[in-house]
Amino acid sequence: MIEIRPRRLRRGPLVRDLVAESGLSLASLIQPYFVTEGESASEPIPGFSGVNRWGMDALSRRIETDVERGVKSFLLFGRAGSKDSEGTPAYAPESLVARTLRTLKSRFGANATLFTDVCLCPYTSHGHCGVLRGAEIDNDASLEPLSRMALAHADAGADFVAPSDMMDGRVAAIRRTLDLAGHSGVGILAYTAKYASAYYGPFREALGSAPKGDRSTYQMDFRNRGEALRELDLDVAEGADIVMVKPALAYLDIISLFAARAPVPVAAYSVSGEYQMVKELARAGLADERSLLIENLTAIRRAGARVIITYAASEMAEKEWVR
């Protein structure tokens, strides 16, 4: 006689929903968008299915639809119109991202939460995330332009800035700059454990930000776990409001470590390569897109992420796959 029968809690959909330990909701998802020049632009990105670069007006209309469907949080990336060796266009007061922020904040106010990527790579001629001196990234020299970029975004209406550069000390530098400028209410979502990964290909196509060389001297080594906890402790001590792991699916163990240790919410970035793999499997008839997306994102949630950045948020809301 079998005395313990776990299957009793799997007998039907109502029971399974009742006892589910993890779930998805649109409220926990952030939709990234790529902004480009041209008010009405809508440019498909090669190799990035269903993802476009958007002009300011076109993006505003799209976000209006997203908000109506229940997606309320957005992460903005700017495609640079000009670049130089120092990345100075990144922090221009009238940069594309700053202008877009002012437009969106004026239109949506508190009905949309706006995050902005803070990194020099789309704005440097060499494609690196910091200031290049010879063949090396100068960590300390990179902190000022990154802080100035964050301040420009805060001035324009960002709710959160999201430094993705992986320079040492950048969270503290940005927090200090924002506070001194009267932006103590602007939060920092830190890319805390951002790994040097092969999953970023479509994203780099979107922004034209592939580096000359690689980023292994500042992005993390995917063989390491303990190093991620050190980065976590530093970012929290420096003032991060949310800490993030990127990529997500290959780093569920890191998300779980963060969730067990962090005193602040943990986010995970389901990156472009993860998204595109689902699209390719679905296109080949090898997987059901809805089922695979929900399984992947639920696994990220189950590992401990309270916030998930995913390129699929808008589509999932449109098709009512998640509410």
pLDDT tens digits, one per residue of 99-138: 999 999 999 999 999 999 999 988 888 878 888 888 788 9
Pick one of 3.40.630.30, 3.30.420.40, 3.40.190.10, 3.20.20.70 as the CATH number of 20-318: 3.20.20.70
Residues 6+ apart with CB under 8 A from 249: 270, 274, 296, 299, 300
pLDDT at 14: 85
Q: List pLDDT tens digits, range 216-268.
A: 888 999 999 999 999 999 999 999 999 999 999 999 999 999 999 999 999 99
Burial per residue of 256-269, b for 16 or more beta-carbon CB atoms within 10 angstroms, e otherwise: bbbbeebebbbbbb
pTM of structure: 0.94
> Domain limits of the chain?
20-318
212 pLDDT higher than 90: no
Q: List pLDDT tens digits, range 138-163.
A: 999 999 999 999 999 999 999 999 99
- Cα–Cα distance, 95 to 123 (Å, whole number): 11
Please, what is the average pLDDT of the chain? 93
206 pLDDT higher than 80: no
Confidence tier at 86 by pLDDT (50, 70, 90): confident
Q: How many CA atoms lie within 13 A of 136 on its CB side?
A: 4
246 is catalytic: yes
- Catalytic pick from 72, 83, 246, 279? 246
- Catalytic pick from 72, 83, 194, 279? 194
Which residue is it, tokens 């430094």? 163
The percentage of the chain sitting over the pLDDT mark of 90, rounded to a whole number, equals: 77
* Residue 121 per-residue DSSP state: G
105 is catalytic: no
